[in-house]
Amino acid sequence: MTQKKTLILAIETSCDETSAAIVEDGHIIHSNIVASQIKSHMRFGGVVPEIASRHHVEQITQVIEEAMTQAEVTYADLSAVAVTEGPGLVGALLVGVNAAKAIAFAHQLPLIPVNHMAGHIYANRFEAPLNFPLMALVVSGGHTELVYMEADGIFEIVGETRDDAAGEAYDKVGRVLGLTYPGGKQIDEMAHIGQDTFHFPRAMIKENNYDFSFSGLKSAFINTVHNAEQKQMTLDKKDLAASFQASVVEVLVTKTIRACEEYGVKTLVLAGGVAANAGLRATLTEQMTACLPQIKLMIPPLALCGDNAAMIGAAAYISYQKEEWAAYDLNAIPSLEIDEK
């Protein structure tokens, strides 16, 4: 007898992308529609929460319909509806949560709440099954964490940023260089044609813990630029970008490798928007091959590094198998932690 396939409609609206996807058995993408709002936030230099919520309301129905049409499924084919419950902007999250609740209620489907950061980790599941124990370096616009996983759906934060997230630091220094929001990708591109001539600090690199700090680096960067401006000197923006990136990458890679060694993991996964960073992907690959060749390194394809609903569908499949459904009073939790139950 062939087993019935599990088709999950997943919804993601935690920040500035309205996304819906149809995912089969947690690892096959039938559709993954992502409507980005970046253009609307660009002129403000960052995401404006009220504008984000309004765009989600305008887009959500259409994005869900498009995901269903592209996957050629009807509501009767679905096994469950999954949605990001947090972390994220409350007004943005609520749009997805309410859409998911309405669909679950109308079609009598299980409702599965998903942690956005768990989603980023499970974006790797589309490449291959995850082998445990596993370490995840999760780097996004709002988070920078090292997460240890003993098994599917079990998360332990072993280190995190004490101040800015890596992506946040990228976007802030991007603004200082006059780049449009979000600056991360542009700095990454400039870094590849510049040199690390400024040797910015590598905060907490030698400390005996797995925490990070990027605010000192950000200040060092800003001070360097402002001091030069006062002396009417022009600094090479490509070298500034390369120096900033060298510092971020060295700290992330060094501490991640140390954590992998200490926890004796089988797999290291990279996750989150900053996982798209070419410098980070290359250095991590190079260092892991040199230092820990026995550990499998998984890096998501570029299309699944940023926010998308397919990754939410992959994470939801774990909860689906455990029948971890939510009731209709499901709420958005803006500061939800990955290790919270």
Residue 307 interacts with Zn ion (CB under 5 A): yes or no: yes
| Residues in touch with ligand KG4 (CB under 6 A) | 15, 140-142, 167, 170-171, 182, 184-185, 188, 272-274, 276-277, 306-307
Residues 266-305, one symbol each (x = binds Zn ion by CB under 5 A, - = not), give ----------------------------------------
Q: What is the full DSSP assignment across 129-164?
A: PPPSSEEEEEE-SS-EEEEEESSTT--EEEEEBSS-
Q: Decide which of Zn ion, ligand KG4, none touches 185; Cβ closer than 5 to 8 Å per partner kind.
A: ligand KG4
Q: Decide which of ligand KG4, Zn ion, none touches 96; Cβ closer than 5 to 8 Å per partner kind.
A: none
Which residue is listed with tokens 């591109």?
Answer: 189
Encoding tokens for residue 241? 């970008």
Kindly state the smallest distance separating residue 313's Cβ from Zn ion, in Å.
15
Burial tier of 28 (Cβ tally within 10 Å: 0-12, 13-18, 19+)? middle
Residue 140 interacts with Zn ion (CB under 5 A): yes or no: yes
Q: Determine the interface stretch with Zn ion among 52-60, 134-142, 165-173, 274-282 (rule: CB under 5 A).
A: 134-142
Kindly state the smallest distance separating residue 311's Cβ from ligand KG4, in Å.
10
Residue 124 interacts with Zn ion (CB under 5 A): yes or no: no
Nearer to Zn ion, 68 or 123 (CB): 123
Q: What is the full DSSP assignment across 191-202?
A: HTTS---S----
Kindly state the smallest distance separating residue 195's Cβ from ligand KG4, in Å.
18
Q: Pairing relation of β-strands 267-271 and 296-298?
A: parallel
d(CA 228, CA 242): 17
Encoding tokens for residue 57? 């309301």
Cis peptide before 334 (omega within 30 of 0): no
Q: Determine the interface stretch with Zn ion among 72-80, 139-147, 150-158, 172-180 (rule: CB under 5 A).
A: 139-147
Contact 278/269 with Cβ under 8 angstroms?
no
Nearer to ligand KG4, 244 or 320 (CB): 244
Q: Provide the CA 277 distance to its chain's centre, in angstroms.
A: 12
Q: Report the residue closest to ligand KG4, judged by CB.
A: 273
d(CA 21, CA 222): 40
Task: List interacting residues with Zn ion (CB under 5 A).
Answer: 140, 307
